Amino acid sequence: MCSVKNDGDTEKLPKEQPDSSPNDEGNWSGSPTAGEGVALKKGPWTSTEDAILMDFVKKHGEGNWNSVQRNTGLRRCGKSCRLRWANHLRPELKKGALTREEEEFIIQMHAKIGNKWARMATLLPGRTDNEIKNFWNTRTKRMQRAGLPLYPASSIGSEASNENQLIQIDGEFCNGDIENSGVLHEAMNEMQEFGFDPCKTTIGQVSYAPLSDIHSTCLLSQGLEWPYTRSLLNQGVNDIKRNIESETCLPGYHSSLGSIVSTFKELTSGHSESMYRNLGLGYSYDADPDMKNPLSCSIPGSHALSHGNFSASRHSAGTVKLELPSLQCPDTNYSNWITCSDTPPYYIHAQSPPGNVSFMSDCASPRSNGLLEALVHESHTINCGKKQSSEKSSCSSAITLNDMMESTTVNFCTAEWEETSDQRSPFSQSVDEHAQITGNSLEEFPPKATSGSDAKMAVEPDSAVSTPDKQASHWPGFLRPDALLGSNWILRDSPRTKENSDSFLALQGEDLCPAVVSLDSCPWNSMPSIYQVPEH
């Protein structure tokens, strides 16, 4: 084992070792830290060391970092090698300063997910977590020194002026000035090279994507060895399970989510490799693609609060250390969200969804175990309402968890866009860009939603996907990251539908909790419009 601790323990030892190789002018840890008792070098890397490491990676690929030292004689511990490779030698690394768009993206992402540098890095191709972290730390210092807020209002949501509207960080991101000014175009281009369109899913939507999602997509598209990709996917699925199994994530949901956990266990234990391959194509749509109110997930004890410029309110009192992306505070008083006076304006949430959806009344508390059930109920109610015209009576027929998830996940991605009739919503953009990609005309896709029932009809999956095979044929196989979404509701009639659906759930499961939490910010009246609960 690379004795990291030894490194630390030996720092007191003489740093210059007489037996340094000619090219090694750095510091040394004196005690045997490698398997063969070789003193490991510390400090800046030399070009020779870089060359050795790069050569090793060329020959053996990434991983097995400790074998670098064994096989090459490079006197660096595996950790150091991995770090050097990841932060400096990887060919896909982007050199140069962060662009303004990237910086804005980091700021916004930090408001949403906190110090998840690695995750941010996955969303900024070519950038490393270290780079992002350094930027943030530097920026934090600078802003604090200047007495400026860490999260400028413009980053948090300029649409906050509309009190009935939720913050639209992601909306901005994909629809607004940022994109128009070339937001992350470079990064997006790179993402597209990997086979997916970041704007199609919106940046925000991927914010909670398991780390492995993008990696797997990239790796698969780059022809990396399957086992490695699978390992990454496994990690993602395990993350999902961890999060779901974590009571701290959303204490009240535990019991309800238990079955989901079981589902994940099935997914991860029993399913064939094809499932993983589907995972690989499964770019994780954010559980809360409506993260137009990213802070809706983080009001009490949010990162914006805990890391940002806002003094801790009473909501923060009960926050746990875990960096939960949403509703972390068990003491959250949801009724205060609207009226809370000590909350900055853009944190004020108009929880009442349009359309008299009585979510809160149906469910005493969002934290209650009944939330998912309420979701099911609500979803189904609306769905039934569609079938029964203006009938508003609820449908109490049983809906499977899968059905519920299917009915909710896609809606998360689209409902708010429909609601805002944004022609440039991720969904519509998806259509636009898909048309560009595939060469299909827009007519092949559901017309843009405008509002109300039109919107619902417009995005009716059945109408949206009249030509699943054609679409599939245009996509480069499973490498299309949006294929999973497509497979989930576009190709839901295909034999693989169930499998894909499960994969989709698994992939987005990591932040299932935030997804659930975010439901209250979702326009409920439009939720089932995207994907109707399959008829039983």
Partner DNA sequence: AACTGAAACAACCGCCATCTA
Partner DNA sequence: CTAGATGGCGGTTGTTTCAGT
- The count of other CB atoms within 10 Å of the CB of residue 192 is 18
Q: Which residue has the tokens 């840890």?
A: 29
What's the closest the beta carbon of residue 29 comes to DNA, in angstroms? 7
Beta carbon of residue 70, minimum distance to DNA (angstroms, whole number): 8
Is 2 near DNA (CB under 7 A)?
yes
Pick from 24, 30, 42, 253 the residue near DNA by CB under 7 A.
Answer: 42
Q: Which position among 139, 254, 386, 496 is part of the footprint of DNA (CB under 7 A)? A: 139
Q: Is 28 helix (H, G, I), strand (E, B) or coil?
A: strand
Taking residues 159 to 198 in sequence order and writing x for each that binds DNA by CB under 7 A, - otherwise, the string is ----------------------------------------
Angle value at C-alpha 299, between 297 and 305, nearest 5 degrees = 120
Find the radius of gyration of the CA atoms of the chain: 24
Largest CA distance in the chain: 86
End-to-end CA distance of the chain: 56
The rounded distance, in Å, linking the Cα atoms of 486 and 491 is: 6
Q: In the complex, what is the shortest distance from the CB of residue 281 to DNA, in angstroms, rounded to a whole number? A: 20
* Cα–Cα distance for residue pair 79/241, rounded to 1 Å: 27
CA distance 519 to 371: 9
Residue 84 contacts DNA per CB under 7 A? yes
The one segment of 6-14, 174-182, 341-349, 482-490 that binds DNA by CB under 7 A: 6-14
- Shortest Å, Cβ 334 to DNA: 27
Q: Give, in degrees to the nearest 5, the angle at Cα 18 between 17 and 22.
A: 100
Q: How far is the CB of 139 from DNA (least distance, A)?
A: 6
Stretch near DNA under the rule CB under 7 A, chosen from 130-138, 191-199, 251-259, 481-489: 130-138
Q: Give least dist CB 147 to DNA, A.
A: 12
Q: Which residues contact 186 (CB under 8 A, 6 or more apart)?
A: 94, 99
Closer residue to DNA (CB): 99 or 497: 99
Cα–Cα distance measured from residue 240 to residue 511, given in angstroms and rounded to the nearest whole number: 7
Q: How far is the CB of 306 from DNA (least distance, A)?
A: 10
Q: Does 90 bind DNA (CB under 7 A)?
A: no
Q: Is residue 265 part of the contact set for DNA (CB under 7 A)?
A: no
Alpha helices in 466-496 (DSSP H): 468-474, 483-485
CA distance 208 to 240: 10
Smallest gap from residue 177 Cβ to DNA (A): 23
Q: Which residue has the tokens 């009490």?
A: 300
Considering the rule CB under 7 A, would residue 44 count as an interface residue with DNA?
yes
User: In the set 38, 54, 79, 251, which binds DNA (CB under 7 A)?
Assistant: 79
User: Which of 54, 88, 149, 358 contacts DNA by CB under 7 A?
Assistant: 88
Site for DNA contains 473 (CB under 7 A): no
Closest-CA residue to 86 (of 45, 129, 55, 144): 129
Residue 83 within binding range of DNA, rule CB under 7 A = yes
Q: Least CB distance from residue 7 to DNA, whole Å?
A: 3
C-alpha to C-alpha distance for 387 and 389, rounded to whole angstroms = 6
Residues 206-235 contacting DNA, CB under 7 A: 211, 231, 234-235
User: Of residues 30, 45, 404, 485, which one binds DNA by CB under 7 A?
Assistant: 45
Cβ–Cβ contacts within 10 Å for residue 17, how many?
17
Q: Give the C-alpha distances (Å, rounded to integers) separating 137 from 86, 132, 211, 323.
A: 20, 9, 22, 17
Total number of residues that touch DNA (CB under 7 A): 56
Binding site for DNA (CB under 7 A): 1-2, 4-5, 7-8, 11, 26, 29, 35, 41-45, 62-67, 76, 78-80, 82-84, 87-88, 97-98, 115-119, 129-131, 133-135, 137-139, 141-142, 145, 211, 231, 234-235, 238-239, 242
